[in-house]
Structure formats: structure tokens, C-alpha cells
Amino acid sequence: MISVRGVSKFYGDTMAVDDISFEVATGEVVGFLGPNGAGKTTTMRMLTGSVFATSGSISIAGFDTRTQPLEARRSVGFLPEASPLYSEMTTMQFLRFVGRLRGIPGRSIQSRVDYVMGLCGLQGREDTQLGKLSKGYKQRVGLAQAIIHDPMVLILDEPTSGVDPIQISQTRQLIRELGKDRTVLFSTHILPEIEAICNRVIILNDGKIVLEHRIEDPSKTFRTVRTLKILAKGSIPAIEKALKGIGKESSVDYHDPYFFVRFPFHEDVQPDVQKTLSDVGCSISSIEEVQSKLEDIFLTITKPTEVKS
Amino acid sequence: MRAIFVLADKELRTSLGSPASYVVAAVFVALSGASFSLYIIGSGYADTSIRGFVDAAQVLVLLFSVLVAMRLISEEQRTGTWELMLTAPVREIEVVLGKFIGAFLTLALILVLTLYFPLLLAVFGDPDFGPIFTSYLGLFLLSGASLAVGLFASALTSSQTAAAAIASGILVALWSLGSAAQFGPVEIGRILEFLSLSGNFSGFTRGVIDSRSVIYFLSVNTLFLFMTARFIEAKRGG
């Protein structure tokens, strides 16, 4: 499992990640979403131990990435963005090298390499130089090296980028399979992918977590939820408190200047919202139902903040 | 320990599989061989030593250790494979030692090729084997120290050219401290000579093994490997 507590990361004076906390349990596949520069890759690099957090703590499979770095790194498999490989090595040489480096004993390395090559569909490419592989195959080799040591936690940075459509569905199938008894966190730009394979999505923007959403049934996803977008005048905490009082199953988010109230599909809370807000003395400037597809949510809450001159 | 072996093995295989290594070896053997022959011919076949070879080899070792070492970490930082190193359950010092040993073996293999020259002398002449042995010991020690400097420079930047420039700068400075020793007060000159690569190397060419020089080379070697590991560690930030 992954546990991130109050983690921030500065590169010099630039803040890349701003006080984020989340947990991912074993058996969960979590999608990491966000525009470029939101801090996804930095967060992933901290999780894999290649860089340390400026503040806060991260534990991987119970090991602190800073105080028990070797144990933590042994528990992680990482597919870096764009799957960098040694182009002069063959698939077989590379997987053997990475496997040995991650501590697989010499006597079991070959069977392990054969196993992951089968799993990732690399048969027939054993002796091909990595530099000569297509982008899709490189990505598969990247996935194979990430799981070669059978890690408890998998961190995949855009695992399906550059992969052709048929291979994409195979890769997704594989990620779902791997996620059954492991902890998987992967980033993507492709929204349907999140709906297809994740139990949960974490959206990052400007180094902060702006949304965590559980996807109970991947086939229904967000269509089971409706969202009201409200613009109201008054004290923000008071409005938030009032809105939270509506319905047991609804949730409230505030993204300046809008309030978002999400509630189950079969309910209609709009009259309640209007009544509640007028009770606390706020005037509603606008209230509308938004399409609560992930894409809309994503676009709304990651909208770039206007540049102040 | 296993990781050091795995990395050294990989580095050695990479260099043995790369055509560039054979070019480096060929140029090394050709130039040092030419210097070897010219010296003996110049002495009218009277001096059957490897002086000529050593004169060229010391410069070539400095130059080629930079060429061999410059890609070791820079290249991985540029292509992104360095991420695989940083996320492997391996200590920084193990990565550094593994890469160093792989590179050292590459250079050592080239030096072993040149044993052809003393072998020629043994067959056709009557050389004094003392200076031959100590010269080779000196060349191996010099290789280690300069590769360590090269590896350190390679960790500093993702540009091989910049790494080569930094390494050459450090090595030329350390080498020419000896020449600078000729100027200025005698005491300072002696200190400078004691701190220079050239000052410590010259003893070996005369057939002398000065333990201070052995310690000097091993210290430079260790210091730069240690600094490389520390730098990689520090780059993880905090």
C-alpha cells in the first residue's frame, strides 16, 4: 500500500507539489489525472524514491522512503514516463539486468524473465535490440521491467502513451489484472482509461489534490452522480456548511467561485439547495446542473487560474 | 555487493559491445606503440626500456579515461534510464563502484593489450623488468584516479561534452600542479609536486614504488568516487 502524508516538494524556489495526502490500499487501482505540470510526475518520482519530499512523509508497503529507502524501493515497480531503455541492449539482456539489479537471484532470473515476457506479450522479441523496437513494444518492455521483481506497489507514468489501440486494451487488461492483489497508481491523459480501469481517481492541479473520487462501478462511473454548480453570495464557510447538511449521500466541493454539490442520480436536491441557502441568508446568483462526466469535472476544476497583472 | 557486480558486468559488456571502444583501443595501441618504437630506434637500439611507451601512455590514459567515463552517468541522465538506477534497491555507492569497476576493466584491458611491447623487448632484448612492472602499476593507478574524476564529472551534468570538459579541466589542473612546482618558493613547490598527478607518477617510471604515491592515487580515486556518490545522494533533494 501507499501512504502519503502532508507531502510538499520544492525545486529551488518553485513549488511542484503542495501539501498532498492520500492513501492507496492493496487491491486498488488509482488513476492519477491532471494537466501537464500539475505535479503528477514529481509525486510519482517521490513515491518511487528517486527524489525525496521536501516535507511530509511517504511510506510504501510500510517502509518510509527516506529512512528505509532500500526496502521501500524493493517494494516498488516503476514505469517512468516514455519508458527509457538502454537502446543497445536486447529485451532479454535488459530484463535480466534489471531483474538482477532488483535482487532476483541468478538461479531464478531466467524463469522470471520468461514469465514477464509472456505476460507483457514480448515473445519473439527476446533478441531484438531495444532501440529498434516500436514505441508500443518499448512501453511493454517498460511494463515488464516494472513487474519483474514482483513488487507490491506499481507506479506507472502514462503506461498507454504511444501504444496502438489493440495493445492499449491488452495493457489495460494487464493493469487491471495486476491490480487485483497489488497497489497500482498510474497517470494518464486519457479520461476513458480512468473510467475503464480505476477504482478511484485523484486529480491534481497546481501541485494540489483538487478531487478524489471513488468509482464504485467502472461501467456506470459518473453517470450515477449528478452535480449542481452554484454561484452564491455570502460567507463561503457558512454556505459550505449549509450545503453539507443536505442529504446524506451528497458531497460538497468549493472551487472558486463555484460550489459543486454532487448527489445520487435518483434524487433531486435543487429545491433543498435553494431553500437551505435562503435560510442562511445567501442569494443565489446562478444554479445549474452540470454534466458530471469526469471530463467536465476535470475541465472545471483544473481551469487555469487567471494571471494577475 | 551483488549490485556492484551486476552493474560492473553490464558496463563492461556495454563497452565490449560498442565499436567506439575498439577505436579507442586501436588508437591507444597505435600511438603508444609508435612512441615505444621511436624511442628505441632513437637510442640506436641501446635503450631497451618502455620509456617511449610510458611517455605516450600516461597522456593517453588521462585523455581516454575522460572518453570512457564521460558517458557513464551523463548519458543515462539524458536518456532517462538514470531513473531506473535511482529507483533500484541499490545504494548510491554501489552504483558508483559498479560503474567505476566496469570502466576500469575496460581501460585495464586496453593496457593489457600493450603488454605486447614489453613482451617484444623480452624476446628480442634484455630489458630491466623492475621499471616495466612499476610503470604498469603506475598506469593502472593513474587510470583508476582519472576514471574516478571522469565519473564524478559525468554525474554533474547530462551533457557528455560538459562532463568531458569538467573532467579534463580537473585532470589537467591536477597534472600540471607538478610543472607549476618549478616556479616560486621551494617549499611550496614540493607541496605542489606532492599533490600533482605527474609528480606522483614519475617515480613509477623510474622503477620506484613510493608508498606515498600509491596512497596518493588511491586517495584521489576514493575521494572522487565518494564525492560522486554524495552528489547523487544530494540530488535526490530533501
Is-contact A4 A50, C-beta < 8 A? no
Q: How many residues does chain B have?
A: 238
Q: Is A7 on the interface with B (CB under 8 A)?
A: no
Helix, strand, coil percentages, rounded to 5, for chain A: 35, 30, 35
User: Quick one: pLDDT at residue A255?
Assistant: 80
The residues, ordered by sequence, that sit 6+ positions from B68 with a Cβ below 8 Å of its Cβ are B15, B21, B24, B103, B106, B107, B147, B150
Q: Point out the least confidently predicted range of A150-154, B44-48, B199-203, B225-229.
A: B44-48
Q: Residue A214 pLDDT > 90, yes or no?
A: no
Each residue's pLDDT tens digit, A83-113: 999 999 999 999 999 999 999 999 999 999 9
Q: Which three cell numbers stand for residue A2?
A: 501507499
Residues in chain B closer than 8 A to A79 (CB atoms): none
CATH (residue range A2-214): 3.40.50.300
* β-pair type (A29-33, A200-205): parallel
User: Quick one: pLDDT at residue B161?
Assistant: 97
Q: Which of B3, B6, B86 sits opposite A50 (nearest CB)?
A: B86
Helix (H) or strand (E) holding A191: helix A191-197
Each residue's pLDDT tens digit, B111-128: 999 999 999 999 988 889
How far apart are alpha carbons B1 and A44 in whole angstroms?
28
Q: Point out the least confidently predicted range of A38-52, A207-221, A225-239, B198-212.
A: A207-221
Q: Is A55 on the interface with B (CB under 8 A)?
A: no
User: Quick one: pLDDT at residue A296?
Assistant: 64
Each residue's pLDDT tens digit, A166-204: 888 888 889 999 999 999 999 987 777 887 788 898 989
User: Quick one: pLDDT at residue B15?
Assistant: 93
B45 DSSP 8-state letter = T
Q: Residue B52 pLDDT > 70, yes or no?
A: yes
Closest among A115, A124, A116, A107 to A142, alpha carbons compared: A116
Q: Do B81 and A84 touch (CB under 8 A)?
A: yes
Q: Do B236 and A52 touch (CB under 8 A)?
A: yes
Which residues constitute the domain of residue B76?
2-235
Q: pTM of the entire structure?
A: 0.84
Q: What total number of domains does chain B contain?
A: 1
The residues, ordered by sequence, that sit 6+ positions from A196 with a Cβ below 8 Å of its Cβ are A172, A218
- Phi, psi values for residue A200, rounded to 5°: -155, 150
Q: Is the dihedral of CA A263, A268, A274, A279 positive or negative?
A: negative
Q: What CATH number matches the domain at A221-301, 3.40.50.300, 3.40.630.40, 3.30.70.250, 3.50.50.60?
A: 3.30.70.250
User: Quick one: pLDDT at residue A222?
Assistant: 47
The HSE-up count of residue A30 (CA atoms within 13 Å, CB side) is 27
| Minimal-distance CA residue of chain B relative to A105 | B2
> What ranges do the domains of chain A cover?
2-214, 221-301
User: Quick one: pLDDT at residue A103?
Assistant: 93
Q: Do B81 and A86 touch (CB under 8 A)?
A: yes
Q: Residue A302 pLDDT > 70, yes or no?
A: no
3-state secondary structure (DSSP) of residue B228? helix
